Amino acid sequence: MGLMRLFYYKYLNSDVIKGFDRYKYSSQDTSPFSNYVMHPFWGWLVQFLPRWLAPNLLTVTGFLCLVVNALLAVYFDPEMYASSAEYSQFPAIPAGFWLASAALGFMSHTLDGMDGKQARRTGTGSPVGELLDHGLDSWTTLLYPMIAHAVFGRGRFGVDPGRLYLIYLAVMGQFYLSHWEKYVTGVLFLPWGYDLSQVALVGLYLATYVLGTDFWQDFAIGDFTYPDIAVAVVYGGFWTLCVPLTIYNVAKAFRAGTNRKSGLVASVEPLAAALLLLASSAAWAYYSPNNVLHASPRLFFTAFGTVFTNIACRLIVSQMSQTRCELFNTLGCLYCLTVAGLLLRRSSLQFELACLGCLTVVAVVAHLHYWCCVVRQMLDHFGLRAFVIVDKGVKAK
């Protein structure tokens, strides 16, 4: 009981709580693939679920599928070389891993698509469910690229950590801009590429199970490798669809006078913490005296991705409660100070890795504490339980 009291810390003040009381979900999904393929599929599948099954249980189970998948990737490919033809000294990933990845990816995506439909079906939709869903989604931006990278590995026909970092920036950037867009406009414009990318990843894992990783260790078209095409698709989608549409929707809200924040400064404040993380992580990735990104890419991305998740979650809390987002993030500032100290001190690789490891542990523990406390505080406020559907009569009491 004493340990559990650690998770009773109240991060949300009364203004934030009052903002959640007024919250109404608003979104637009114009993707033909989502509307004509995925949503009908999820709507059909959800009918087979028992009505006592809590939507939050689907949300968390779907997230845990990805966590298990990522841990398997770390176990079979700790150095991220296993699928590289040039590094045959590293044991190959078992074929069964790709079948498991396809199954876990499909389950995660399906459960993520069904949780909202189960909530509406059982009449249990609440701001807590959306907060939990989107908060966990922010952490999946760390897991998806890490798992998919195992298909290609490093080397000439793979994806080196420097390029993988750029992919992370695009994936996380799209997620953050979508929620910043909602922070300003009040509407979540769901990206077209999300459902397509999830189905494509499942197909990629199934193809790798059938064809083997050696299939991807070759040129795809002319002098372009398969990873070249994948990177082009990710970045093409980010710069030609995500960024222009976000700017358009935000500008449209300002012209129409429907923007939720008064003035440009208040609207762009949430970008400060994300840009600070971008600048410090880029400096560490490309100017590390010991090339720490290449020495321990998984640890680097875990630290960077977890700090990003904390920044994104705090933005989600602010946009849902219609309160002003903090200008700077504590974990983000800690990350920046750590990077500055290491770049100025120019210490040994062992010391830099030790600092990276400590930063990763601090970031993961601090974010888990923040997120668990926030969700618990919201559950207590609304009289709900996380994984049990509370009877309305009991809730009223």
Q: Is 143 left (phi over 0), alpha (psi -120 to 50) or beta?
A: alpha
pLDDT of 1 reads 53
pLDDT of 394 reads 47
Catalytic residue among 39, 109, 134, 367: 134
Query: Which three-class secondary structure state does DSSP give residue 223?
Result: coil
Helical segments of the chain, H only = 14-21, 32-33, 39-45, 55-76, 95-122, 127-149, 161-185, 193-211, 226-237, 243-256, 264-268, 270-287, 292-295, 297-321, 330-345, 349-382, 392-396
List per-residue pLDDT tens for the chain, 397 residues long: 566 778 789 999 999 999 999 999 988 888 999 999 999 999 999 999 999 999 999 999 999 999 999 999 999 999 999 998 888 889 999 999 999 999 999 999 999 999 999 999 999 889 999 999 999 999 999 999 999 999 999 988 999 999 999 999 999 999 999 999 999 999 999 888 899 999 999 999 999 999 999 999 998 888 899 999 999 999 998 999 899 999 999 999 999 888 887 788 889 999 999 999 999 999 999 999 999 999 999 999 999 999 999 999 999 999 999 999 988 999 999 999 999 999 998 889 999 999 999 999 999 999 999 999 999 999 999 999 888 987 655 443 3
pLDDT of 171 reads 95
Q: What angle do CA 166, 235, 175 make, to 5 degrees?
A: 80
Q: How many CB atoms lie within 10 A of CB 18?
A: 12
Gap between the terminal Cα atoms of the chain: 25
Q: Beta strand pairing status for 219-221 and 27-28?
A: unpaired
pLDDT of 392 reads 56
The CA-atom distances, in angstroms, between 346 and each of 193, 292, 338, 340, 358 are 41, 12, 12, 10, 18
Which run of H or E residues covers position 189?
strand 188-189
Is 179 noted as a catalytic residue in this protein? no
CA 288 to chain centre: 25
Give yes or no for a contact between 236 and 292, defined as CB atoms under 8 angstroms apart.
Answer: no
